[in-house]
Structure 1
C-alpha cells in the first residue's frame, strides 16, 4: 500500500509568505510524529521560498484560490489522506478534496477567514477548523458558531496561539558564531517575507536604515534579516550584519537570543516572536491585517508600535532597548494572555485526522 500523504495549500505570492512558513513548521512537526507520511506543498511558481528536501513541491501559477484547476488536478493526482488549506482555496477545491477521500482542514488567522469557515456550505465539508487566537487568554466560539456546530457533529474546532519551531541553544550558538554576533543581547530586525514596498521603497531597506541608527544610538549589535522575497541590492552594510534570508528554524534561534526584535506585524512573525517572549517593536510591513494587529497588541502592552519609517522605528527600538522595566512588562503581558508555541499540539490534532482516515 502507498504511504499516507498530506497536502498543504497555503496562501502564497510575491508579497508575504507567513502562511507558507506556518504550514512548513506544522508539516515538520507532523512528520516528526509520522515519519512514514508523504508531505506535499502547493506554492506559487514565481516565489522563492525555503524548501524542505524531505517534502514534495508542486508549483501552481498563482495562489491556490486563483489556481482552481491546478489544485483540483493535484488533489486527483496525489489523493492525500489530509488536506490543509491555510487561508486559501475555493469550494470547488474543497469538494474535490472530499471526492478523493481526504480529511479536510481549514486554518483561519483573521476574522473574515474565520467567518468563511463557519459558512453552512463550508462546515458541511470540513473535518477540522483551526483558528488563530494569538493574544487571547481564553478564546471562545461565538454564540452563532456554537449553534451552527450542533448541525455538524463531524466538524471539530481548535484554537491555537503561535506556530514556530522550538528553541535550540546549540543551534543558536552556532548561528551567532557564523554571523559574528554575540550569543545574546543583540537586536534582530525581520520584516517577514520581505516582498512589500512602502512609498516606493522595499520595506527591508527602510528597516536596514533603522538598524544602522539603532546601532549608532545604543551600541548594540544589530542583525537584519531581509526576507526570502526581498529583491533589492542591499546585501551588505558597514555596521549591521545583513542576512538575505534564514530558514524558519534558524530565525527562531536568533529571535530567542535577542534583547529585542523589530518585526513585521504578520500573524506568523508576531506569533513566532511573542511565543518566545522576546520584547518586540512591530511595524506594518505589508498586508491589510497588520495595522489592526499592531493597534491591538500595542493597546494591550504586548508589543511596541512603530510606523514604517526609519525615525519611528529607531525611536521605538532605542526606547525599548534602554528600558528593562518595559521589556519585562511586555514579557509579563505576553505570558498573561497565554501566547505560546502550539505547533506540536496542532500536529497531534492533524495526526489524529490522518489516523481516522486510515
Structure 2
C-alpha cells in the first residue's frame, strides 16, 4: 500500500513588524507534521520578515506580504500543487480561487471582525472549505443572521470559532527554563511586547516594557524576564533584577508564562493564549487593532490594561501584584471558556483530509 504524502502550503501575513500569523502557522505546521510525518510542508513568506531566514520549513520568499503578490503566489501554487492551503489573515479572493481550482482544500484564518467579514463574502466563501476564527467568541461576537442566511444559500458553514492557537506548556521544558534562568515558579514576572517591532512617538514600545521591568523589580522584589522579540533591532544590556532575552521559541515562551506570577503582554495572540492558560495579565495595546480586544477582555475581568509607557506599565503591574485585583482576575479566568484552538483546528483538517483522500 502506497502511503499518501499530502502537500500543505502555509501563506501567513508576513511583514517586518508583526509575527503572530507566522507563529500560528508554524504551530499548525508542526502539528500537521506530527500527525502526518510523510507530509510535505511549504511556506510563502515576505523575505524582509526577520523570521524568513530561520523558518524550519522550505519557504518561497517574496518582496512583500503574499496578499500583495497575487501572481507570484498563484504561480507558486501552480508549481507546488498543494493538497491544502492555509491562508492566515492573508490572500486575495483570486488566490483562494486559484487554490480551489487546483483542487486544494482551502482554509482561511481570520482574527478580527473585518477579516471575518471579508472571509464571509460570497465569492470568497464559495472557494473556502473551512473558515477559522482565532478569537474567543466573547471578543469577536456572533455573526449576523444575514451572514448566516447568505452562507446557507451557498451551502457553506458559518466560520468556526476555535480561539487562540498555541502549544500547551511542556513540563520538562519548564523545569529546564526555571533552572537555566534561576527562577522559582510563581515568583517572577514575564514581560513581552510581541515581536518587538512596534513603535510609538518615542521609539520602540518594547523599550518602555524594559524600563517598566526595572521598576517592577524595585517595587515588588520579583525577578523579571524581559523578552524583547525577534523584530527588535537594537542591542540591550542586562540589569540587576531583570533577565533580558532576545527571543524564545513559542513553547519556551508559553511554558514560562504558565509558571509566572503574572505576565505583562501586548494585546496580540499571546494575551489570548495566557487567558486560555488562566494566567493573570497586564496588557498593553502596541497597535491600534488591539485596543478593542483589550477593552473587551478588561470588561470581562480577564486582564487589566495600561498605556504604552513605562510608568503606566510599572504602576499597573505593581498594583496587580500587590492589590486585591489579582484574586478578581483569577476568579474570572477560571470561569472563562477560552481554550486552546489547536486541537479544534486539527480536527477540522482531519475531516478535510478524509474528504479528500478517503482516509485519516
Pick closer, same or farther for the CA change 1:56–1:180 going to 2, 3 Å. Answer: same
Pick closer, same or farther for the CA change 1:317–1:137 going to 2, 3 Å. Answer: closer
Query: Hey, what does 1:161 align to over in structure 2?
Result: 163
Scaled by the length of structure 1, the TM-score of the pair is 0.94
Question: CA separation in 2, counterparts of 1:119 and 1:198?
Answer: 34
1:90 Cα offset (Å): 0.6
Query: Hey, what does 2:47 align to over in structure 1?
Result: 45
2:84 paired residue among 76, 82, 94 = 82
Pick closer, same or farther for the CA change 1:235–1:151 going to 2, 3 Å. Answer: farther
2:30 paired residue among 22, 28, 38 = 28
Question: CA separation in 2, counterparts of 1:74 and 1:229?
Answer: 27
1:29 Cα offset (Å): 2.1
Matches within 5 A, 1:1-358: 3-49=5-51, 51=54, 53=56, 55-134=57-136, 136=138, 140-155=142-157, 157-266=159-268, 268-286=269-287, 288-323=288-323, 325-358=324-357
1:155 Cα offset (Å): 4.6
Structure with larger RCO (C-alpha < 8 A, sep 6+)? 1
Tell me, what secondary structure is at the counterpart of 1:129? strand
1:220 Cα offset (Å): 0.2
1:237 Cα offset (Å): 2.6
Scaled by the length of structure 2, the TM-score of the pair is 0.93
Equivalenced residue count is 354
CA-atom RMSD in angstroms: 1.9
1:70 Cα offset (Å): 1.8
Which digits, 9 at most, give the CA deviation of each residue in 1:34-92, with x for residues without a partner? 22221211111011228563x22221111111121221122112111111111111122
Where structure 1 has 5 or more consecutive residues not aligned to the other structure, the ranges are none
Which digits, 9 at most, give the CA deviation of each residue in 1:127-176, with x for residues without a partner? 11111332629964420121012122255631112211111122111012
* Bigger mean CA deviation after superposition, 176-185 or 61-70: 176-185
Contact 2:139 2:297 in 1 (8 A): no
Tell me, what secondary structure is at the counterpart of 1:43? strand
Pick closer, same or farther for the CA change 1:156–1:38 going to 2, 3 Å. Answer: farther
Tell me, what secondary structure is at the counterpart of 2:138? coil
Pick closer, same or farther for the CA change 1:331–1:36 going to 2, 3 Å. Answer: farther
Tell me, what secondary structure is at the counterpart of 1:277? coil
